[in-house]
């Protein structure tokens, strides 16, 4: 656990060289320390960008080392709730480290991972869900990830859970009242409506969970692997989708041996696309290893693109690839449509379940690629993304919502079996505890610690 009264310092921008780099100070000494680092004698004006220079007081001449812009955010209105000063310097790692070292020499302590956000949580600036959203926002690769994280930061998830929790609490209070005041001569809750009321609450939790598979894909991204027999154009499709010639393409069957991957943004979903040797029976030791890797990639993939050569006939090897992928979500790409086909390719011949999309493409001309992209995306996250239901994508949240939903299901079942209030309440209280743990209103400290361990320094 961090000592939350020190003044902490860290580089807030990503490691490496950049145009600008930001050093962030937070804590009771932030202002004093900053003025000592800067050749700026008066206190910084609150929330104003002040141009100044960093001086190294340890050198006799008090050498300036960089020109910077400093901004002071006094607590409690700052990000962390403590006094904060942000110094934008030029983005050289050496320079930024020097500024941090000077701050440490002046009495600041190097921040632990996640410590700035932890302080914001301690000071009540963020709830737990929001604190997690900060980490997601900073890690976001696609604009949709950023948007979902931002919604979470804005509190949409907290609000949605809060609204359910409020109604649950109301029901709990009524049931409690009927136990504690049995002689009042009237009902605090109409008998016979309890099971239904619990059912409605549970539906709302399930509604939040319904979006969670999608939410998780959006938040965590996923793997899509390209499979097919040799030479059907897997690597060509891969290159076409990522928009560069990363994989080697030749007319020789068995060109690709190792896995080749790259991340693409499929309209907001971060997809790690994997090209492989495909699946086939072979005596070649190197190729056999490639096939083994392709199978491993299949095992972790969320979805598969099966490439078939439309310009040739459907062969036994194609069928065995289709069989090997039958258990996974997949899209079938009929490649090389730019070349005339000797035979007709009726869909029935492929013997596919009705929900499997079949898309005709040409990796060479680019025809059909957009269709392929949207088919892959639809297979992963469904057709549309709604903004009005908050997206729950964090595994911790999903786990707790599932726990709440399970407890509500128990409560509903025992109510229907005729159990009396105290048992129903025991189950409802479990649901409530899950909600409270979710937003951090009541979280065992090890959970809190666990959450804050995932942060990087300076966030």
Ligand X SMILES: Nc1nc2c(ncn2[C@@H]2O[C@H](COP(=O)(O)OP(=O)(O)OP(=O)(O)O)[C@@H](O)[C@H]2O)c(=O)[nH]1
Q: Choose the contact partner of 363 out of other proteins, ligand X, Mg ion, none; CB within 5 to 8 A by kind.
A: ligand X
The smaller minimum CB distance to ligand X, of residues 255 and 449, is found at 255
Enumerate residues 2-31 that contact other proteins by CB under 8 A. 3-6
Q: Which residues, including other chains, have CB under 8 Å from residue 120's CB and lie 6 or more apart?
A: 79, 80, 81, 126, 131, 134
Q: Which of 235, 302, 325, 362 binds Mg ion (CB under 5 A)?
A: 235
Strand pairing category for 109-110 and 357-360: unpaired
Q: Is 336 among the residues that bind ligand X (CB under 6 A)?
A: yes
Q: Which of 42, 383, 384, 417 binds other proteins (CB under 8 A)?
A: 417
Q: Is 420 among the residues that bind other proteins (CB under 8 A)?
A: yes
∠ CA 202-205-209, rounded to 5°: 135
The smaller minimum CB distance to ligand X, of residues 13 and 261, is found at 261
Q: Is 335 among the residues that bind ligand X (CB under 6 A)?
A: yes
Q: Which of 178, 255, 357, 449 binds Mg ion (CB under 5 A)?
A: 255
Strand pairing category for 49-56 and 109-110: unpaired
Q: Is 292 among the residues that bind ligand X (CB under 6 A)?
A: no
The smaller minimum CB distance to ligand X, of residues 176 and 338, is found at 338
Q: Which residues, including other chains, have CB under 8 Å from residue 309's CB and lie 6 or more apart?
A: 228, 231, 232, 233, 335, 336
Q: Choose the contact partner of 278 out of other proteins, Mg ion, ligand X, none; CB within 5 to 8 A by kind.
A: ligand X
Applying CB under 8 A, what is the total number of residues that bind other proteins? 36
Stretch that binds ligand X, among 2-10, 173-181, 226-234, 369-377 (CB under 6 A): 226-234
Distance CA 153, CA 440 (A): 14
Distance CA 169, CA 156 (A): 19
The smaller minimum CB distance to other proteins, of residues 353 and 418, is found at 418
Q: How far is CA 369 from CA 80, 237, 238, 360, in A?
A: 47, 8, 11, 8
Strand partners, 262: 273
Distance CA 204, CA 160 (A): 9
Distance CA 368, CA 184 (A): 72
Applying CB under 6 A, what is the total number of residues that bind ligand X? 23
Which of 315, 365, 356 lies closest to 337, judged by CA?
365
Q: Is 325 among the residues that bind ligand X (CB under 6 A)?
A: no
Q: Is 256 among the residues that bind Mg ion (CB under 5 A)?
A: yes
Smallest gap, in angstroms, from Cβ of residue 257 to Mg ion?
Answer: 9
Which of 263, 296, 301 lies closest to 277, judged by CA?
296
Q: Is 192 among the residues that bind other proteins (CB under 8 A)?
A: no
Smallest gap, in angstroms, from Cβ of residue 230 to Mg ion?
Answer: 8
Strand pairing category for 109-110 and 222-227: unpaired
Structure tokens at 331: 């899209």
String marking each residue 230-269 x if it binds ligand X according to CB under 6 A: xxxxxxx------------xxx-xxxx-------------
Contacts with ligand X, residue ranges (CB under 6 A): 228, 230-236, 249-251, 253-256, 278, 335-336, 338-339, 362-364
Contacts with other proteins, residue ranges (CB under 8 A): 1, 3-6, 119, 121-124, 176, 179-185, 417-423, 426, 429-430, 440-445, 448-449
Contacts with Mg ion, residue ranges (CB under 5 A): 234-235, 255-256
């Amino acid at each position: 656990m961090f000592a939350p009264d020190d003044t902490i310092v860290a580089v807030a921008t990503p490691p490496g060289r950049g145009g600008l780099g930001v050093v962030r100070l937070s804590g009771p000494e932030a202002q004093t320390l900053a003025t000592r680092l800067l050749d700026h004698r008066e206190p910084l004006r609150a929330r104003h960008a002040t141009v100044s220079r960093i001086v190294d007081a340890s050198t006799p001449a008090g050498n300036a080392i960089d020109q910077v812009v400093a901004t002071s955010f006094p607590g409690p209105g700052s990000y962390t709730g403590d006094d904060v000063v942000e110094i934008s310097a030029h983005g050289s790692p050496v320079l930024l480290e020097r500024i941090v070292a000077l701050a440490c020499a002046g009495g600041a302590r190097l921040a632990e991972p996640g410590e700035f956000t932890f302080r914001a949580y301690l000071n009540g600036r963020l709830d737990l869900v929001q604190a997690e959203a900060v980490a997601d926002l900073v890690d976001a690769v696609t604009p949709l990830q950023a948007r979902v994280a931002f919604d979470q930061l804005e509190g949409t998830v907290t609000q949605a859970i809060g609204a359910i929790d409020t109604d649950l609490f109301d029901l709990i209070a009524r049931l409690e009242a009927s136990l504690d005041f049995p002689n009042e001569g009237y009902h605090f809750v109409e008998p016979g409506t309890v099971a239904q009321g619990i059912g409605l609450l549970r539906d709302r939790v399930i509604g939040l969970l319904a979006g969670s598979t999608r939410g998780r894909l959006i938040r965590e991204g996923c793997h899509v692997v390209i499979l097919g027999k040799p030479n059907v154009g897997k690597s060509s499709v891969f290159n076409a989708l990522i928009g560069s010639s990363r994989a080697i393409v030749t007319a020789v069957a068995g060109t690709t041996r190792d896995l080749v991957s790259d991340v693409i943004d499929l309209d907001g979903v971060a997809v790690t696309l994997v090209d492989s040797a495909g699946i086939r029976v072979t005596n070649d030791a190197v190729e056999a290893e490639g096939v083994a890797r392709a199978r491993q990639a299949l095992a972790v993939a969320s979805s598969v693109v099966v490439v078939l050569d439309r310009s040739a006939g459907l062969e036994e090897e194609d069928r065995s690839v289709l069989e090997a992928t039958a258990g996974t979500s997949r899209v079938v790409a009929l490649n090389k449509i730019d070349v005339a086909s000797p035979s007709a390719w009726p869909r029935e011949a492929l013997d596919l379940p009705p929900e499997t999309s079949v898309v005709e493409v040409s990796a060479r001309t680019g025809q059909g690629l957009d269709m392929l992209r949207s088919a892959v995306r639809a297979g992963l996250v469904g057709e549309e993304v709604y903004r009005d239901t908050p997206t729950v994508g964090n595994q911790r949240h999903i786990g707790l919502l599932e726990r709440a939903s399970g407890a509500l299901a128990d409560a509903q079942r025992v109510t229907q079996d005729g159990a009396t209030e105290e048992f129903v309440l025991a189950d409802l209280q479990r649901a409530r505890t899950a909600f409270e743990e979710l937003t951090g209103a009541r979280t065992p400290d090890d959970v809190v610690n666990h959450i804050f361990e995932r942060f990087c320094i300076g966030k």
